[in-house]
């Protein structure tokens, strides 16, 4: 007869399993709110989600968890159980810093702000947006102050910690400060080089049903499991749901097909990470994706490293021709030129991989003082205009729709998330540099349609590892070094100037 020696740990595991199931319902309700819900459902759904957020918060802050966490520390746990306990403690600490009233108020404020934002953005209505955003920002600042007080971090560091554990503004300032030095010159050199290259524009329109079919075929090519997920439409593309039921969204325009296609490929990277998280650990915090920079490294491995790879255009071209008919623009070489066209633009999600970091640096440099209380919402448009002019040479004055209203992150209070995108691009470049070292014929394999090397490497080194290791440990084990932004610069120079 075996002796039961981990009662405290087992009690915690049961609690977190319950939270996982509640999160399942919360995720599907949030996806439905963005993809399906009729407008008049907004207020009731906001109230229901606030109730769910409060219920989950109550479970996480149950006083008996403190005792169970302390007792579990003394129990004979395996390395995996210890890693799970570390993640449980992180979640517990974060939740216990925040009162239930704030959690509920924040959920109501973001539901209201995000729903109104959907109409305010196309109407270029910054003034209307700010009225709702004030309450979202107030909740965000309150959360930042409480988390900072509990953790001893600065307010913005405490917000980053929610998405990217271990990352600090000091490191971001070094990384982004370096990118700021070389990026504008690189953009100019690439634009000059590409201006001398002929590229054929495709002839539209591109009917939405054909685009949707094309997107789903690209998802299948990339190994997405449609028995455990689906593709829908939303105002802002995202990946949601749960590993057993991954919900991806995209958006379509009849005059353009590459934006929806590449956006779908991006979300497919998120989706495959979720679908390949370790099944035997689901329901426990250790089964969760390591961090949002690691999550974005998956979407950007798919969209940028793979989707913009010249060899990958060989696989896409026949699918594009089947969707829209044969035309000169759809040769693999021309398609790759279209995909890798570098042109400073207003919209972050439509940006090429060379100009993309400028969009992230701009948001980081505005969002941080916003959370720290150094600037107010009224200051955002002027700062936005100045930084867009400086970083990308673009005039955004008076254009709120394609300026500070373009992203869903601020209405949804995702303060601290934006840096993860560029960190993700840097990790993705590091993953592929390692793959090339380990598989010298990787580029030839991609060109002939063999993507198994990429997927096998990501599955073994990232997807199945989930949150077993810290981010630095994960990167070290996968590549032999922690985050090294030099790989990102080398990748851009090789692809666009080589």
List active site positions.
267
How big is the chain by its Cα radius of gyration, in Å? 23
- Nearest-angstrom CA–CA distance, 311 and 306: 8
- Nearest-angstrom CA–CA distance, 35 and 29: 10
User: Which single residue is written with the structure tokens 């080398």?
Assistant: 490
List, as one string, the DSSP characters of 348-374: STT--TTTHHHHHHHHHHHHHHHHHTS
Nearest of 127, 129, 155 to residue 143 by alpha carbon: 155
Joined together, the tokens standing for residue 227 give 């028995």
Residues contacting residue 148 through CB under 8 Å, at least 6 positions apart:
154, 155, 157, 158
Identify any residues that bridge with 230 across adjacent strands, giving them in sequence order.
Answer: 247
Given phi > 0 = left and psi -120 to 50 = alpha, else beta, which region is 277? beta
The enclosing H or E element of 232 equals strand 229-233
User: Which single residue is written with the structure tokens 């054929």?
Assistant: 200
End-to-end Cα distance, the chain: 66
SS3 of 241, please?
strand
Using the CB atoms, write b or e for 243-272: b if 16+ within 10 Å.
bebbbbbbebeeeebbbbbbbbbbbbbbbb
Contact 342, 187 (CB under 8 A): yes
- Nearest-angstrom CA–CA distance, 396 and 366: 15
């Amino acid at each position: 007869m075996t002796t039961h020696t981990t009662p405290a740990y087992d009690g915690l595991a049961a609690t977190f399993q319950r939270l996982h199931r509640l999160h399942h319902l919360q995720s599907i309700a949030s996806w439905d709110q963005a993809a399906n819900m009729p407008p008049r459902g907004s207020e009731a759904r906001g109230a229901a989600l606030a109730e769910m957020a409060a219920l989950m918060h109550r479970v996480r802050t149950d006083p008996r968890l403190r005792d169970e966490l302390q007792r579990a520390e003394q129990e004979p746990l395996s390395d995996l159980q210890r890693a799970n306990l570390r993640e449980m403690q992180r979640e517990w600490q974060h939740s216990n810093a925040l009162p239930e009233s704030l959690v509920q108020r924040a959920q109501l404020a973001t539901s209201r702000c995000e729903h109104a934002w959907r109409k305010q953005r196309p109407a270029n209505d910054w003034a209307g947006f700010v009225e709702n955003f004030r309450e979202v920002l107030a909740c965000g600042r309150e959360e930042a102050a409480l988390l900072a007080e509990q953790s001893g971090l600065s307010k913005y560091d405490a917000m980053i910690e929610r998405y990217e554990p271990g990352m600090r503004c000091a490191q971001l300032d070094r990384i982004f400060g370096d990118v700021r030095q070389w990026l504008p010159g690189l953009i100019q050199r690439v634009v000059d080089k590409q201006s001398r290259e002929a590229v054929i524009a495709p002839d539209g329109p591109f009917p939405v049903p054909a685009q949707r079919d094309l997107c789903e075929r690209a998802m299948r090519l990339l190994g997405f499991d449609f028995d455990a997920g689906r593709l829908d439409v939303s105002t802002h593309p995202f990946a949601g749901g749960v590993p057993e039921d991954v919900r991806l969204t995209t958006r379509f325009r009849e005059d353009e097909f590459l934006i929806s296609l590449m956006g779908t490929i991006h979300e497919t990277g998120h989706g495959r990470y979720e679908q390949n998280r370790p099944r035997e650990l689901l329901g426990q915090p250790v089964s969760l994706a390591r961090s949002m920079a690691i999550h974005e490294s998956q979407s950007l491995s798919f969209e940028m490293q793979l989707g913009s790879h010249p060899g990958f255009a060989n696989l896409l071209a026949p699918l594009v021709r089947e969707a829209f008919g044969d035309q000169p623009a759809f040769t693999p070489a021309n398609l790759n030129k279209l995909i890798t066209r570098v042109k400073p633009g207003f919209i972050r999600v439509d940006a090429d991989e060379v100009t993309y970091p400028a969009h992230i640096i701009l948001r980081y440099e505005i969002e941080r003082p916003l959370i720290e209380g150094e600037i107010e919402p009224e200051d955002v448009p002027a700062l936005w205009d100045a930084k867009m002019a400086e970083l990308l040479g673009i005039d955004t004055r008076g254009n709120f729709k394609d300026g500070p209203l373009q992203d869903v992150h601020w209405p949804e209070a995702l303060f601290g998330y934006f840096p993860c995108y560029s960190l993700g691009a840097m990790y993705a470049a590091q993953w592929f540099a390692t793959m090339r070292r380990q598989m010298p014929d990787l580029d030839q394999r991609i060109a002939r349609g063999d993507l198994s090397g990429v997927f096998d490497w990501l599955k073994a080194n990232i997807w199945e590892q989930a949150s077993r290791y810290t981010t630095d440990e994960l990167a070290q084990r996968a590549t032999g070094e922690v985050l090294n932004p030099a790989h990102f610069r080398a990748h851009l120079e090789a692809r666009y100037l080589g």
